[in-house]
Amino acid sequence: MKDDLLRENFDVVVIGGGPGGTTAATAIAEEGRSVLLLEKTPFPRFHIGESLLPYMAGLLEQMGLLEEFRANGYVPKCGAEFTDPTGGFRRVSFEDQGPGRHHRTFQVERAHFDNALLDHARKAGVRVLNPATVDELVIEDGRVVGVRCRYEGESHDVRARYVVDASGRSGKIAQTFGLRRSVDQLRMVAIYRHFTGLDEAVNPGERGDIQIGNHADGWVWAIPVWEDTISVGTVMHKDTFRKGDPQELFDDHRARVPRIADRLRGTEAATKLRIETDYCYLSDQLTGPGWYMVGDAGCFVDPIFSGGVYLAMVTGREAGRNIVSALENPSRDEQLQEAYESFYKTGYDTYFRLIHGFYDYKFDFRKYRMDLPSDINERHVSLLLAGDFWSQGNALARHLREERQWDTFAPFEYFYGCPVYPDLELLERSEIGV
pLDDT in tens, 334-358: 999 999 999 999 999 999 999 988 8
* pLDDT of amino acid 182: 87
Is the confidence at residue 4, as pLDDT, over 70? no
Helices (H), 170-232: 172-177
> Which range, of 202-206, 251-255, 354-358, averages the lowest pLDDT?
354-358
At 304 the pLDDT is: 82
Which among 364, 328, 353, 104 is positioned nearest to 220, based on CA atoms? 364
Average of per-residue pLDDT values in the chain: 94
Confidence band for 5, pLDDT divided at 50, 70 and 90: low
Percent of the chain at pLDDT > 70 equals: 98
Classified as helix, coil or strand, 91 is strand
Residues 6+ apart with CB under 8 A from 313: 19, 20, 23, 56, 59, 295
431 pLDDT above the threshold of 90: no
Q: Which of 7, 339, 343, 16 is nearest to 173 (CA)?
A: 16
Quick one: pLDDT at residue 366? 85
Q: Is the pLDDT of residue 424 over 80?
A: yes
- For residue 330, is the peptide bond before it cis, meaning its omega torsion is within 30 degrees of 0? no
pLDDT of residue 365: 85
Are the beta carbons of 238 and 187 closer than 8 angstroms? yes
Q: Which residue has the higher pLDDT, 139 or 300?
A: 139
Enclosing H/E stretch for 247: helix 246-255
Yes or no: say if 12 and 326 are a contact pair by the CB < 8 Å rule. no
Question: Which amino acid appears at position 329 of this protein?
Answer: N
Lowest pLDDT segment from 46-55, 74-83, 103-112: 46-55
Q: Which of 47-51, 292-296, 376-380, 399-403 has the lowest mean pLDDT?
A: 47-51
Residues 255-276 have pLDDT tens digits of 999 999 999 999 999 999 999 8
Higher pLDDT, 431 or 187: 431
pLDDT interval class at 192 (50, 70, 90) = very high
For residues 6 and 298, the answer to whether their CB atoms sit within 8 Å is no
Top pLDDT among 362 and 17 is at 17
Query: With 90 as the cut, is the pLDDT of residue 49 above it?
Result: no
Instruction: Using pLDDT thresholds of 50, 70 and 90, give the confidence band for residue 2.
Output: low
pLDDT of 212 reads 96
Task: Check residue 7 and give its pLDDT.
Answer: 53
Q: Which amino acid is at 166?
A: A
The predicted model gives 143-158 an average pLDDT of: 95
Model confidence pLDDT, tens digit, residues 372-382: 999 999 999 99
pLDDT band at 303 (very low <50, low <70, confident <90, very high): confident
Report residue 363's pLDDT band, with 50, 70 and 90 as the boundaries.
confident
Exposure on the CB side of residue 191, measured as CA atoms within 13 A: 20
- What is the amino acid identity at position 193? R
**Whether pLDDT at 39 is above 80:** yes
Q: Which domains are assigned to the chain?
A: 1-72+109-183+280-434 (3.50.50.60), 74-107+188-277 (3.30.9.100)
